[in-house]
Amino acid sequence: MDFLKELGIEEINYGVSTGRNWSKTDTAGKLEIFSPGSGEKIATVYQGSEEDYEAMVLKAQEAFEYWRDVPAPKRGEIVRQIGVELRKYKDALGRLVSYEMGKSLQEGWGEVQEMIDICDFAVGLSRQLYGLSMHSERPNHRMYEQWHPLGIVCTISAFNFPVAVYSWNSTIAAVCGNVNLWKPSSKVPLTAIAVQKIIARVVEANDLPEGIFSLVIGKGSTVGERILNDKRVPLISLTGSTKVGRHANAIIAARFGKSIMELGGNNAIIVTQDADLKLAIPAIVFGAVGTAGQRCTSTRRVIIHESMYDQVKESLLKAYGSLKIGNPLDVSNHVGPLIDKDAVKDFTNALDEVKKEGGKIIYGGEVLSGAGYESGCYVRPAICEVENHYSIVQEETFAPILYLIKYKGDVKEAIKLHNSVVQGLSSSIFSLNLRETEEFLSARGSDCGIANVNIGTSGAEIGGAFGGEKETGGGRESGSDAWRAYMRRQTNTINFSTEMPLAQGIKFDI
């Protein structure tokens, strides 16, 4: 594959870098990386050791002492240059994302474009790290707040977005004055190595110290636990399952660290009797089968008014019948493979549970085999008729399973069903009725961090803060004022008088 050579991916790769140099440790275990699309081996990655991690953190601490004193617009200039380099490698990196993870090539390119976009956003942000000024109750006093960097910010990313989520965190953390540590998923380490090499070109060109952007690929049981327990890492941004997040958050909170948790989603689209199905059907299909249902924002449930149910069902069956499933590097295909055979087992087990609980599989659900499907990771996306209270429907299955749920009455009944899950990431309603859409967006409406009208649940733009409520974790990344999570707030009061008045009118004469 020419794109592997272009990105510097070799047959043997090392998993720890401080920006310029790579550790040569080969005794801490290795990862054999196979493409879920073709089943062929891509490369080998040697994992980092706990000793590698310790050396890396020491370099990061040194780098922070330098980086925090660089003016924010100058830090933004470095991020701008990273965006320029990413543009050069968009095609190759997008192909690697698709090849290693399995998402369609269009989605692979789109993920790299998301990295480029967040670089641009962060550059502008570097001149907008605003604090407030307040009027003091004491005469001749001035009050204001300012924001300072935290130190080392660690991003622990998941396999489904091998590079984009890292960029959401690292670019904004960098312009805020922090140094970055990245622990990617062990299922997709090659894209992380490729990105690290792209960033290294900018680090070297600007003669920056090692440790501003660091990478560690290592075992969760060793390196991962070291990170969670390390008081030198004040903020950890973690994307993963609710189970993983609960474990990590308990450890981080015990040491009074900060965390940004982006965990599970059980996202629903409400289709009311006033919906435009020309908009709704494509959005539902892409939301359900994009990335083979392996997005945290994937559409899991469709809550449909009874008067529209049969029409929506037939439209979805027709649309699913036209899906092309196959090699993700072929741009004509809509759906690629699941990440591995364990994910396939989760898919089939969930469908077994659907049947046990009384649901009905009305489309798909097969594991595909034969020519083009030799990896054993391809499935036919499933559509199921269920009730919202089924235990399997209440869970997040990271696979292309779409649950159809019928509701009666008004939109309030649909919202009640919608909110009756423990997750709270993304949501959507399709309706041309202003009262229905405003009800959905009101305080009585969707309880998710993202609520959309007449668009689907997936495909969030970088300009808005991304994240959710309840067991989704409450974290926010990317746009809006999410930058504040990467900084510490400081309130300052300056007395420029010749007196020493106390607040609240307290008298203390000595």
Looking at the annotation, which residues are catalytic? 262, 296
Contact criterion met (CB below 8 Å) for 421 and 266:
yes
Q: Residue 465 forms beta bridges with which residues? A: 478
State the Cα–Cα distance between residues 44 and 488, nearest whole angstrom: 40
The pair of three-digit structure tokens given for residue 28, joined into one six-digit string: 């801490």
Instruction: Answer for the pair 488, 148: CB distance below 8 angstroms, yes or no.
Output: yes
What the block records as the tokens of 431 is 């309706």
Could you tell me if 45 and 15 are in contact, meaning their C-beta atoms sit under 8 angstroms apart?
A: yes
How far, in Å, are 150, 233, 462, 503 from residue 482 at the CA level? 14, 19, 11, 32
> DSSP 3-state assignment of 195?
helix
| 8 Å CB contact between 245 and 473 | yes
The amino acid present at 95, given as its one-letter code, is R
- Report the alpha-carbon distance of residue 446 to residue 47 in Å, rounded: 42
* Token duo for residue 388: 């919202």
For tokens 């300009």, name the residue. 463
> 370 in helix, strand or coil?
coil
What is the separation of C-alpha 194 from the centre of its chain, rounded to a whole number of angstroms? 19
Query: Cα(352)–Cα(250) distance, rounded to whole angstroms?
Result: 33
**Spatial contact of 136 and 492, defined as CB atoms under 8 Å apart:** no
Q: φ, ψ for residue 177 (rounded to 5)?
A: 100, 10
**What whole-number distance in Å separates Cα of residue 379 and Cα of residue 367?**
4
Give the HSE-up count for residue 132: Cα atoms under 13 Å, Cβ half-sphere. Answer: 6
Q: 299 and 456 in contact (C-beta within 8 Å)?
A: yes
Q: How far apart are CA 358 and CA 382, in angstroms?
A: 16
Provide the 8-state DSSP code for 429: E
DSSP string, 374-420: TTS--B--EEEE--TT-HHHHS--SSSEEEEEEE-SSHHHHHHHHH-
> Amino acid identity of 267?
N
